[in-house]
């Protein structure tokens, strides 16, 4: 007896016909016949298309960065929201920000449909639960100060679409990250970021090219926003939080690279600066003490280069 499809399934089947990432890739039709190295070459060939696709939307990514920088300046947050692989990528990017840039875990937030347990095991039905998205955002008090980034490779995930609608309702800036053009996630967001990477090497497996494209975009959003918020000096991440031995060693090295001083000088400055690399660098470069340096950085809104230049002019 043939299987009967519900109306919802019929609609979804029709939608999948028009989703780029769900198409069958003509270049990998023989992938099941290949040996390991040949499969890897096919995957690598497809992966090389990802950075080019992302490059095409850099002007739109820049708009999103500008919005995030403005939000940070006004005390707002960057909030990622998504389901499955897309949501996990958002959480991954969010949790890396505190140790890298010394921000609180409230400044960049990752929300995954189904909660923390969904990081390790799929929560059935979570991505289709539109009310769940509202509950998750209300719990985190999404406001007009915030930027909400909805992530969905297909561009049609109900959980994410509902989140974007709620962002519009409360006046938050919304950004949609997808790999499917002319989709709801693009059309319903204030800023649409659609990197068209084409059909996956393995049909429908959007953890591949689509996942890579999303990861690159999220890397750009946080890294560029943090740089523009004063979290770097030259190309050094001077607000690194030295929470373990590796990061402590990195902080010493960063002070040495920024100032040209030796390890002993860097360690002494970091000790006086309470392990704050940015402050230690300013102290070594200008000769001020920790209290003076903190005042200078505060007056320059945390921008080390501006503080150094102001000291040189005075």
**Active site annotation includes 169:** no
Q: Are residues 249 and 156 in the same domain?
A: no
Say what percent of the chain tops pLDDT 70: 94
Q: Are residues 296 and 154 in the same domain?
A: no
Written as six digits, the tokens of 250 are 């990195």
Q: Are residues 95 and 224 in the same domain?
A: yes
Q: Are residues 63 and 175 in the same domain?
A: yes
Q: Which of 22, 106, 127, 294 is catalytic?
A: 127
Model confidence pLDDT, tens digit, residues 114-165: 999 999 998 878 999 999 999 999 999 999 999 999 999 999 999 999 999 9
Which strand (E) or helix (H) includes residue 246? helix 245-259
Q: Is residue 124 part of a domain?
A: yes
Q: Is residue 39 part of a domain?
A: no
Model confidence pLDDT, tens digit, residues 210-262: 999 999 999 999 999 999 999 999 999 999 877 788 889 999 999 999 999 99
Task: Out of 228, 261, 290, pick the residue that ends a domain.
Answer: 228
CA separation for the pair 294, 280 (Å, rounded) = 10
Strand pairing class (108-112; 191-194):
unpaired
Domain that holds residue 286: 245-313
Q: Is residue 239 part of a domain?
A: no
DSSP 80: E
Q: Are residues 94 and 204 in the same domain?
A: yes
Q: Are residues 127 and 208 in the same domain?
A: yes
Q: Which of 96, 169, 200, 294 is catalytic?
A: 96
Q: Are residues 294 and 182 in the same domain?
A: no
Model confidence pLDDT, tens digit, residues 25-44: 999 999 999 999 999 999 99
Task: Out of 180, 202, 228, pick the residue that ends a domain.
Answer: 228
Q: Are residues 157 and 94 in the same domain?
A: yes
- 280 closest CA partner among 306, 261, 300: 261
Report the half-sphere exposure of 53 (CA within 13 A, side-chain side): 26
Residue 92's CB is within 10 A of a number of other CB atoms, namely 14
Any idea what the CATH number is for the domain that residue 283 is in? 1.10.8.1080
Any idea what the CATH number is for the domain that residue 224 is in? 3.40.50.10490
- What length does the chain have? 314
Model confidence pLDDT, tens digit, residues 266-307: 999 999 999 999 999 999 999 999 999 999 999 999 999 999
**Active site annotation includes 15:** no
| Beta-sheet strands, E only, within 70-204 | 78-82, 108-112, 147-151, 173-178, 191-194
Task: Out of 228, 256, 289, pick the residue that ends a domain.
Answer: 228
What is the pTM (predicted TM-score) of this model? 0.91
Numbers of helices and strands, H then E, in the chain: 14, 5
Number of domains in the chain: 2
């Amino acid at each position: 007896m043939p299987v009967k499809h519900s109306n919802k399934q019929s609609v979804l089947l029709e939608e999948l016909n028009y989703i780029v990432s769900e198409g069958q890739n003509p270049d990998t039709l023989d992938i099941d016949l290949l040996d390991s190295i040949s499969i890897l070459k096919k995957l690598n060939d497809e992966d090389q298309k990802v950075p080019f696709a992302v490059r095409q939307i850099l002007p739109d990514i820049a708009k999103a960065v500008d919005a995030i920088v403005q939000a940070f300046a006004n005390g707002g947050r960057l909030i990622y929201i998504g389901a499955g692989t897309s949501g996990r990528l958002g959480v991954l990017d969010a949790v890396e920000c505190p140790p890298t840039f010394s921000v609180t875990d409230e400044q960049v937030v990752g929300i995954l449909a189904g909660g923390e347990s969904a990081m390790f095991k799929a929560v059935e039905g979570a991505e289709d639960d539109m009310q769940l998205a509202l509950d998750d955002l209300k719990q985190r008090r999404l406001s007009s100060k915030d930027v909400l980034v909805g992530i969905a490779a297909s561009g049609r995930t109900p959980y994410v679409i509902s989140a974007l609608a709620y962002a519009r309702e409360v006046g938050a800036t919304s950004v949609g990250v997808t790999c499917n053009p002319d989709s709801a996630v693009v059309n319903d967001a204030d800023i649409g970021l659609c990197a068209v990477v084409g059909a996956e090497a393995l049909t429908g497996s959007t953890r591949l090219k689509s996942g890579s494209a999303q990861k690159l975009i999220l890397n750009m959003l946080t890294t560029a926003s943090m740089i523009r918020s004063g979290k770097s000096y030259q190309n050094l991440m001077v607000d690194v939080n030295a929470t373990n031995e590796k990061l402590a060693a990195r902080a010493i090295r960063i002070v040495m690279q920024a100032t040209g001083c030796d390890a002993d000088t860097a360690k002494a400055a970091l000790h006086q600066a309470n392990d704050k690399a940015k402050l230690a660098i300013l102290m070594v470069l200008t000769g001020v003490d920790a209290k003076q340096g903190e005042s200078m950085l505060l007056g320059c809104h945390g921008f080390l280069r501006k503080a150094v230049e102001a000291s040189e002019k005075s």
